[in-house]
Structure 1
Amino acid sequence: MLKIYTVTTCSSSKKAKEWLDEHRIEYQEINLLTDNIEKQEFLNMLSLTEEGTGEILSKRSRIYKKIATRLDELSLGELVRFIDENRSVLRRPLIVNDKCLQVGYNEDDIRKFLPRTVRRVEMANASESIRSIALGGKFKIQAS
């Protein structure tokens, strides 16, 4: 099941939840600041990053700035403990399923959470719209 880690006052979290609701995608919302989060969940997030901690940690937060110089020295266990004890250091929303992680709200990137069948239908509809515009003379392709 899709999980979305949010903070109540975060506008990006609100936009992501609205998009998920609009596309009828079931999710479990987890409040980063108040809900119980197992350390395994933080490990899972880290395992899904492409660039490591820099991808999920907010470099603008005061807490991050205090530890940034020592971040590379932390063991994995210490890093997870640090994140658990300082959850406001995490960027948000964090949207996670068993295969991928999205950090923040991006209308194009969030589409990866649509079921494949829905993405295929939307792609076919978009292609048909482009063909219709091109053949209807409303759109001209110019050679350079």
Structure 2
Amino acid sequence: MKITVLQYPPCSTCKKALKWLNDHNIEYQDRNIKTNNPTKAELEAWYHKSDYPLKRFFNTSGQKYRELNLKDKIGTASEDELLTILATDGMLVKRPLVIGSDFVLVGFKEAEWEEKLL
């Protein structure tokens, strides 16, 4: 199984997630979400491949999210507008983000990861 993990190195949750992958000998391609920001096309494809609502892809605890007052926009903006906003800055995207051939995982929930990756 080939997976890509989008993560931000200083993020404690990302560190925990990468440790979990390494502990379970799961190979992955690492991608820094800040320096290699996901494109709108990538985000749209991942969103449609996932079972998540689009708002789940937002890093709601991030500083940038609060600065842009996105809490109010998420309920009223179109899917296209939200994807455009997400694509402007990797720090707006919830992480870690795991992309597999037929699944997407948003955030680190160990039970969910075990189900998809083990």
Q: TM-score interval w.r.t. the shorter chain? A: 0.7 to 0.9
The residue type paired with residue 54 of structure 2 is: T
Q: Greater relative contact order: 1 or 2 (C-alpha under 8 angstroms, separation 6 or more)?
A: 2
The structure with more helix, counted as a fraction of residues: 1
Partner of 1:23: 24
Residue aligning to 2:77 = 74
With the length of structure 2 as denominator, give the TM-score of the two structures: 0.79
Q: Which residue of 1 aligns with 2:95?
A: 92
Select 2:117's aligned residue among 110, 113, 117: 113
User: How far 1:45 sits from its partner (Å)?
Assistant: 2.4
**SS of aligned partner of 2:110:** coil
State the Cα distance separating 1:24 from its structure 2 match.
2.2
Number of equivalenced pairs: 114
Aligned amino acid, residue 17 of structure 1: L
1:1-144 alignment to 2 at 5 Å? 1-65=2-66, 66-111=69-114, 112-114=116-118
- Identity across the alignment (%): 25
Q: TM-score normalised to the size of structure 1?
A: 0.67
Structure 1: stretches of 5+ with no match in the other structure: 115-144
Q: Which runs of 5+ in 2 are unaligned?
A: none
In 2, Cα distance between equivalents of 1:51 and 1:106:
14
Q: Whose Rg is larger? A: 1
Pairwise CA RMSD: 2.1
Matches of 2:99 and 2:40, distance apart in 1: 15
